[in-house]
A and B are shown apart, each in its own frame.
Chain A
């Protein structure tokens, strides 16, 4: 097997025969979710952060996310709050193989897991006693897990700086069977009152190269 053709630029070659792809990683991309930081700064009921990382194996990327999430919901009849951490692991598949800047449009999947605590206090009217009752519940060490289908972009902005977004279709949530409370919000997943849920990250990355990238292969058009 051989690569034949001529150099088109420093990062691309023209190919007209079978190409052997290299699955050795060329760099690690580490970033954070700007939306979480923005919400922490400007929303009273949310505090959290999320770190994202991926590493390439040719067109496949091993993706890891780790985050913290604390949320408070207030209503006239009571308050709910939770606090916990979560992680996700999965694979993204890049579909922009010919992009000279190595920008990335991907589809992928994740498995997510969270560990969190929650508190709920409720003021409710009791028909039998004809009085309002104040109920307080608290649980800690609750585990939850779920799956995600992901899609998004990674765009090289300048030198090592990359930006991107990830849209997440979350489903298959399972959580511990807790006494007295049904979790309303799971860190990393979101609200639990639906079978599926959409999530969205707007991310800023730094890409640390670990070896020289192989040239982009551009096939001749017949």
Chain B
């Protein structure tokens, strides 16, 4: 009986080890390609035309390509920006292995090698093609050394007129009519929160003029130039270091910080923000809401004028349930004249306190608080809990319309 138990145990042990292989994704026929930049080795974003779908442009950092296991060589053609074409020719070994009666056989690809290419540099990081996960080939391009990166930010903070709280910033895009370099070439136009601008590699200084439909700002940066061969594949290049801001007309400018919290004073590729441009919060914006009874009311307004500001403060014809109006920062009183579509006029006259408090050190405009009507008019109501102007705005005054 003891002997029989031994044999039964052994048979169970033997049969328990029999299992079937997984038939899913039998072939390792996927080539993983990643784009990188020489020097930092960081991933690169590349615009390719007709790559994923005919007629489409796609910005990609990596992709997978299915290899033909009936062949032993392949070529990838890259149709990039400005009709620039590149190619990558590669070879590989194909073997077949029977897997199981259920699965059949699989094609096993290995020994991936580069045959030819016209990129700056290419290297094999894994010579065995995968089943869909991983990188086999890294394609490198030389770094661009002349690109200054700026991003635009809006500052926010809350205040009760006594203290500042919740300071923060967020990216804000500006509709640039033009950004010019050295007062001549337009190097950017369009709406963006981040702009990449060329620097003048022939000088140690570049000057930029930023134009929007409502403002114009200038920025002049200085830097040092280093000409040397850092990467064999790229030859001799001129690098920009020791970036400084010589002058500007923006509210505030800081250097971008790298992973070590050090200012990014060199122009890097892939680009990281060298300079962060900040807009101060607008502390003088009064939000007026229109009501009928207790419900909000949409009104049609022809014009809003003020004693302290020239022209119409709105773009007529205006239709809406609220307006945002700038109070006079040079006075403790502001008066607005709201002319409706039927030519009736409401006069909104408010007084307030200009504190010595500013939301940020770099921002001059004071916090406006203690808003009140100059003369109590029944249809105008200053909300008692909203007597300090905030940015973003919130309703401070309600006007009841007929």
Contact = CB atoms under 8 A, between A and B. Distances in A.
Interface string A73-89: 11111101000000000
Nearest to A199: B14
Contacts of B98: 73, 75, 78, 80, 120, 184-185
Contact of B68 (A76, A128, A183, A202): A128
A139 B105 CA distance: 16
A180 B96 contact: yes
Interface string A34-48: 000000000000000
Interface string B88-111: 000000111111111111011000
B295 interface: no
Nearest to B97: A182
Contact of A198 (B14, B68, B69, B97): B14
B14 A122 contact: no
Given A75-B101, A78-B104, A133 B7 contact: no
B24 interface: no
Nearest to A201: B14
B13 interface: yes
A165 B94 CA distance: 41
Given A77-B104, A124-B107, A165-B7, A193 B99 contact: yes
A120 B103 contact: no
Contacts of B102: 75
A200 interface: yes
Interface residues of A, number: 35
Contacts of A152: 10
Contacts, number: 79
A202 B71 CA distance: 46
A167 B100 CA distance: 23
Interface string A178-195: 111111110000001100
Interface footprint category on B: 20 to 34
B95 A182 contact: yes
Given A165-B7, A198-B17, A76 B96 contact: no
A5 to B, nearest CB: 28
A78 B70 CA distance: 16
Interface string A136-149: 01000000000000
Given A120-B96, A193-B21, A200-B14, A74 B70 contact: no
Given A128-B68, A165-B10, A135 B104 contact: no
Nearest to B15: A200
Interface in B76-124: 94-105, 107-108
Nearest to B19: A194
A59 B71 CA distance: 58
Contacts of A10: none
B3 interface: yes
Nearest to B99: A193
Interface of B: 3, 6-7, 10-11, 13-14, 17, 21, 66, 68-71, 94-105, 107-108
Given A124-B107, A133-B70, 10 more contacts: A122-B104, A124-B69, A126-B70, A127-B66, A127-B68, A153-B3, A167-B13, A181-B97, A198-B13, A200-B14
10 contacts: A78-B105, A80-B98, A122-B96, A122-B105, A126-B70, A133-B70, A167-B14, A185-B98, A192-B97, A202-B7
Closest 6 CB pairs of A and B: A77-B104, A80-B98, A200-B14, A182-B97, A198-B17, A184-B98
